[in-house]
Amino acid sequence: MVDTRPFLPVSSSDGSIPSERPANRRKPMKVQLSIFFGLLAVGLLAALLASNKGSDIVTENEHGSLDSSTTIKPEPLRPLSRGPAAGVSEKANLLFPKDNENTVAFPWNNSMLSWQRTSFHFQPEMNWMNDPNGKSHLFSFGPLFYKGWYHFFYQYNPLAAVYGKIVWGHAVSKDLIHWLHLPLAMVADQTYDTNGVWTGSATLLPDGKIVMLYTGSDTESVQVQNLAYPANHSDPLLINWVKYDANPVLVPPPGILSKDFRDPTTAWLTSEGKWRITIGSKINKTGIALVYDTKDFINYEKLDGYLRAVDGTGMWECVDFFPVSKTEEKGLDTSVNSLDVKHVMKVSLDDDRHDYYTIGTYHEKNVTFIPDDTELDVGIGLRYDYGVYYAAKTFYDQNKNRRVLWGWIGESDSEAADVQKGWASVQSIPRMILLDKKTDTHLLQWPVEEIDSLRLNSYEFNHVTVQAGSVVPLDIGAATQLDIMAEFEIDKEALEKATGSNVTFSCSSSGGAVHRGALGPFGLLVLADDRLSEQTPVYFYIAKGSDGNLKTFFCNDQSRSSEASDVNKEIYGSMVPVLKGENLSLRVLVDHSIIESFAQGGRTVITSRVYPTKAIYGAAKLFLFNNATEAGVGASLRIWQMNSAFIRPYPNLDDKSQ
């Protein structure tokens, strides 16, 4: 039964320490004596403990925050794992200290934490959220367009800002930007999903009706597939959902472990008129996609073999499979299959929490998918996003003839900080996805056009020269909510004169933006304070090999993004193809603690979560930089301040649902 209670209200307390103490009245003498002897006993006990453990002291400063003396030994943050014990993957946003290093909690205050909440990315009013789509047992079935509304379903914990007690949240939108929260769509109230209503996918049938397959975790934590459908197909808001009374419709087949069978895809039609789905699994360390045919979504035939299998990739979850056009700039319905079509297979790897895709050919009769390049096979080749981005799911938007990609952007701070701020995780800006016809190896991802409606004041900077080793401030005011379009042209003479090298460059292991080469790095310093004590460089780096060939890398350096110690500070990135005649181009969406960066029209994408302590509110600035040793760079930019999206509960819902 659907839980129609509204989202939990936000606490009225801000958690701050009062600046004034209430006046104390004089207490009776007996009470004073009792307090005196009680304090004396406590003092003696404290002295005894101090003699054994040292004299750590904590004091309160004038701002109400806690300062430690130099003798303090802060308690390190130690992650607690809930996933494996519950028979689910570990997907909470926990920090795992590397090499036994201790991670010390930063004294976040309410002002810092409030700033982190995004303004135009979708997220619930509070608590924990997972991905949007129809994959992965941590996530929910994702978006679809129905009777004038975009529907978004997501995994949600209504009780806390940590993973657990997962149900399905539900929101609707007219434009994929402004969202209205609806009551919970489904809760864990049956034996076959009592341990979690996990990921599923919706299929829109030719008669306009909707069927949904989703993974449930039953009383024994076995992953089973279940059927659900709207209680009233005439309701454009799809508020109430019915679970099929003979669930589950699929259980793990022989040879598949009970906890390795999840995330059914959207179904597509075969030439025989049957519906076909694939489900993620593994055998030992080989990731596999099982295939089933059905005529009624109740009875299924398991087909021999696998849609695809790749050794060493581990458990596949959130499998997605869809066609892309080789000739047109538009999306295709999931069932389209012709000579003018390539297919994309995408998997989320449970072992490393990244989303991989490959492009190839689907053979319906043989029930197989063959990548164009096996070196770029699914799970070992290209990724949707080289940052914080997981369990992505596409849907065909028949309203605008496009395929739209959603992904879950988790937190990369500590779980303790999430509990303190009262929420965790957001959704990416929806991205239109197309085949890159110039490379034929990559997809192009680009923010949906509706995001442009949030643009406010714009600033243009044309042909700015950024000399090697320099930083140029950009006078645009506060830089917390931005849409940045930039083009860079590196000095051609420097390109020719630069000496080649056999040294291998990697964004993640080559020292970040402070590592200087002849031809880079250069780009933007995002969410930086005036003194650059905090900054997040988004940049290109050109490496020239000993053979004279150039390779361009697109990177995002979080190593100096925050002075806090309990946040992730990885350096993300990958090589990006740059074709002859192309300038280097990027687009960056900045929304408080999220930076989504798109290079070369979306061939390579990086999403970062950053948690500055100084570069917030009006102190957040934007700079151009060029840390190359030899090459100057010309830059042209157009920058928009961005408005906030309206994301709130649906008004007068009782009237709408009757």
pLDDT at residue 658 is higher than 70? no
User: What is the per-residue burial (b if ≥16 Cβ within 10 Å, else e) of 300-318?
Assistant: beeeeebbbbbeebbbbbb
| pLDDT value for 42 | 42
Domain with 580, as residue range(s), is 457-642
- pLDDT tens profile 512-560: 999 999 999 999 999 999 999 999 999 999 999 999 999 999 999 999 9
In a domain, 60, yes or no: no
**202-226: average pLDDT:** 95
* 136, 226, 249 from 213: Cα distances, Å: 12, 5, 9
**490-510: average pLDDT:** 91
Query: Do 240 and 331 share a domain, yes or no?
Result: yes
Query: Do 399 and 472 share a domain, yes or no?
Result: no
Pick from 81-95, 215-229, 275-289, 422-436: least confident: 81-95
Query: Do 327 and 199 share a domain, yes or no?
Result: yes
Query: Do 209 and 135 share a domain, yes or no?
Result: yes
Tell me the one-letter amino acid at 80.
Answer: L
Its pTM stands at 0.85
DSSP state of 86: G
Query: Do 320 and 381 share a domain, yes or no?
Result: yes
pLDDT at residue 74 is higher than 70? no
DSSP state of 380: T
41 confidence band (pLDDT: 50, 70, 90): very low
In a domain, 91, yes or no: no
pLDDT at residue 189 is higher than 90? yes
Query: Do 577 and 497 share a domain, yes or no?
Result: yes
**180-208: average pLDDT:** 93
Query: Do 485 and 431 share a domain, yes or no?
Result: no
46 confidence band (pLDDT: 50, 70, 90): very low
322: nearest Cα among 308, 313, 330, 332: 332
Query: Do 387 and 535 share a domain, yes or no?
Result: no
591 is catalytic: no
Give the CA diameter of the chain: 94
pLDDT at residue 478 is higher than 60? yes
Query: Which residue, 447, 467, 496, sits at the end of a domain?
Result: 447
Share of the chain above pLDDT 90, in %: 74
Pairwise CA distance, residues 303 & 252, whole Å = 14
Q: Which of 3, 67, 131, 373 is catalytic?
A: 131
| pLDDT value for 558 | 97
Query: Do 432 and 493 share a domain, yes or no?
Result: no
Query: Do 219 and 152 share a domain, yes or no?
Result: yes
Query: Which residue, 447, 479, 508, sits at the end of a domain?
Result: 447
Rg (CA), the chain: 27
**223-245: average pLDDT:** 97
- pLDDT tens profile 261-279: 999 999 999 999 999 999 9
CA 225 to chain centre: 25
Query: Do 443 and 462 share a domain, yes or no?
Result: no
In a domain, 145, yes or no: yes
pLDDT at residue 193 is higher than 90? yes
**332-347: average pLDDT:** 97
Give the number of other CB atoms < 10 A from CB of residue 441: 16
Nearby residues of 566 by Cβ (< 8 Å), 6 or more positions away: 77, 95, 103, 104, 105, 106, 413, 414, 416, 417
Q: Which residue has the higher pLDDT, 403 or 59?
A: 403
144's enclosing H/E stretch is: strand 144-146
Domain count for the chain: 2
- pLDDT tens profile 93-144: 444 444 445 667 899 999 999 999 999 999 988 766 665 533 323 344 568 9
Mean pLDDT of the chain: 85
Q: Which residue has the higher pLDDT, 60 or 451?
A: 451
In a domain, 199, yes or no: yes
In a domain, 556, yes or no: yes
In a domain, 395, yes or no: yes
Q: Which residue has the higher pLDDT, 452 or 7?
A: 452
**238-244: average pLDDT:** 97
Query: Do 470 and 372 share a domain, yes or no?
Result: no
Q: Read off the CATH number of the domain in which 586 is found.
A: 2.60.120.560
In a domain, 654, yes or no: no
| pLDDT value for 141 | 54
Share of the chain above pLDDT 70, in %: 81
Reduce the secondary structure of 244-260 to three states and give it as a string: CCCCCCECCCCCCCCCC
In 451-516, beta strands by DSSP E: 455-466, 470-474, 481-490
In a domain, 544, yes or no: yes
Reduce the secondary structure of 106-139 to three states and give it as a string: CCCCHHHHHHHCCCCCCCCCCEEECCCCCCCCCC
Q: Read off the CATH number of the domain in which 173 is found.
A: 2.115.10.20
